[in-house]
Amino acid sequence: MPVEPSIPVNLETRLEINKFEPRPYQIDVMRAVFKEGKKKIFLCWSRRAGKDVVCFNILFMAALSKPGIYYYCLPEYSHGRKVIWDTLLSNGKRLIDFIAKPLIAKINEQQMKIQLVNNSIIQIVGSDKASRTLVGTNPQGVIFSEWQVSNAESYEYIRPALLYNGGFAIFNGTPRGPNHFYEMYNIAREASKNPLSDWFCSYLTCYDTNHIPRSELLKEKASMSPDKFMQEYECSFSAGQIGVYYGRQMDQMHLDGRIGVIPYETSFDVHVSLDLGVSDPTCVIFFQICGAVVRVIDYEEFTDKGLDHLAKLLNSKDYKYGKIFAPLDIKVREIGAAGAISRLETARNLGMNLEVVENLPLEECIEITRMSLSKWYIDEKKCARLIQALENYRREFDEEKKVYRDKPRHDWASHPADAARMLAISLPRCEVGTTQEELDRMFLEAKRGPQSDLPPVFRNNRYGPF
Q: What is the pTM of this model?
A: 0.63
| Axis-axis angle for helices 414-426, 384-392 (nearest 10) | 100
Instruction: Using the Cα atoms of residue 108, residue 111, residue 113 and residue 115 in order, give the sign of their dihedral.
Output: negative
As a whole number of angstroms, the distance between CA 392 and CA 283 comes to 16
As a whole number of angstroms, the distance between CA 115 and CA 76 comes to 22
User: What contacts 436, CB < 8 A, 6 or more positions away?
Assistant: none
pLDDT level of residue 14 (50, 70, 90 thresholds):
low
Query: 199 forms bridges with which residues in the sheet?
Result: 40
As a whole number of angstroms, the distance between CA 452 and CA 442 comes to 10
Element (H, E) at 156: helix 154-165
Q: What is the pLDDT of residues 134-168, one digit of tens each?
A: 888 899 999 999 999 898 889 999 999 999 999 99
- Give residue 129's pLDDT: 82
For residue 447, pLDDT over 80 is answered with: no
- Give residue 248's pLDDT: 81
As a whole number of angstroms, the distance between CA 263 and CA 373 comes to 18
Q: What is the pLDDT of residues 297-346, one digit of tens each?
A: 999 999 888 899 999 999 999 999 999 999 887 866 554 444 567 888 88
Q: Looking at residues 283-303, what average pLDDT do you find?
A: 95
Mean model confidence pLDDT for the chain = 85
Q: Is 424 exposed, middle or buried (0-12, 13-18, 19+ CB in 10 A)?
A: buried
As a whole number of angstroms, the distance between CA 23 and CA 48 comes to 13
For residue 12, pLDDT over 60 is answered with: no
As a whole number of angstroms, the distance between CA 147 and CA 187 comes to 15
* Alpha helices per DSSP H over 359-464: 362-372, 384-392, 414-426, 436-448
Q: What is the pLDDT of residues 219-276, one digit of tens each?
A: 988 888 777 888 899 998 877 567 889 988 887 888 788 999 999 999 999 999 999 8
CB atoms within 10 A of CB 224: 15
User: What contacts 297, CB < 8 A, 6 or more positions away?
Assistant: 262, 263, 264, 270, 286, 287, 288, 379, 382, 383
CA 355 to chain centre: 28
Query: Which of 363, 271, 357 is CA-nearest to residue 321?
Result: 271
Query: Which of 184, 177, 172 is CA-nearest to residue 146?
Result: 172
Q: Looking at residues 76-104, what average pLDDT do you find?
A: 84
Question: What residue ranges define each of the domains in the chain, with the CATH number in brackets?
Answer: 11-232 (3.40.50.300), 247-430 (3.30.420.280), 441-466 (no CATH)
- CA–CA distances in Å: residue 244 to residues 184, 231, 251, 396: 21, 14, 12, 10
- Give residue 19's pLDDT: 63
Query: 169 forms bridges with which residues in the sheet?
Result: 40, 142
For residue 438, pLDDT over 60 is answered with: no
For residue 40, pLDDT over 80 is answered with: yes
